[in-house]
Amino acid sequence: RRAEEERVRSEKEEIRRQKEEEERWNARKRFKNAIITPSHIHLDPDSSTLKYTVWCSDGYDNDGWHSYQGAPEREFDSVWKSKKEANDRAEYLFFWKNPWGSSPNEVSDDSGDPEPSDVNGLNSWTVSPADSSRWSVGAVPADAYAHLPNANKRRHNYDDGREPKGYEFVSYISY
């Protein structure tokens, strides 16, 4: 009887964990639609009414193997009114629109899952998987963006208009 109770408790815990993981990686549940599909005002790097810029870059480090042209350009993504919106968009871009087309829960490197670094309430992420490029996304005050090294106003092409990938899992629990 005790073994049966433990088995049931274990199965319930696994179902709860899978549900949490699924919700964590479901962009439609986590973010407002404007974060996933920014409107034209958010895509104008010269929008004077919005305070925070989200940028991204993708390129190889000077590893002696890949051709190295120097640090990659920081490409414009969008502008936002609040830090929360900018941070949400940066997180969405980093995990769901990564340059490898990986599912968001697969974006990691040898040091594990990337954690955001926070500067004055604005987040940035960087990941560099083995034998791959370094992908970085960040949010900065809009007036500071032009002063970042290798920053430009050209918009990237990582937002392909496709539905964001979600966390997909296979349940091995038998009933």
Q: How far apart are CA 10 and CA 65, in angstroms?
A: 47
pLDDT at residue 168 tops 60: no
Q: What is the pLDDT of residue 22?
A: 79
Confidence of residue 172 (pLDDT cuts 50, 70, 90): very low
Separation CA 101–CA 152 (nearest Å): 23
What pLDDT sits at residue 171?
35
User: To which residue do tokens 């958010």 refer?
Assistant: 42
Query: Which tens digit of pLDDT belongs to each residue from 16-74?
Result: 888 887 778 899 989 999 999 999 999 999 988 899 999 999 988 666 565 667 678 89
Determine the distance from the C-alpha atom of residue 99 to the mean position of all C-alpha atoms in its chain, rounded to a whole number.
10
Q: Where are the alpha helices (DSSP H) in 107-149?
A: 142-145
Query: Considering the chain, what percentage of its residues have pLDDT values greater than 70?
Result: 85
**Cα–Cα distance between 66 and 54 in angstroms, integer?**
27
pTM: 0.81
Under 8 Å between Cβ of 150 and 89 = no
Cβ atoms of residues 38 and 89 within 8 Å: yes
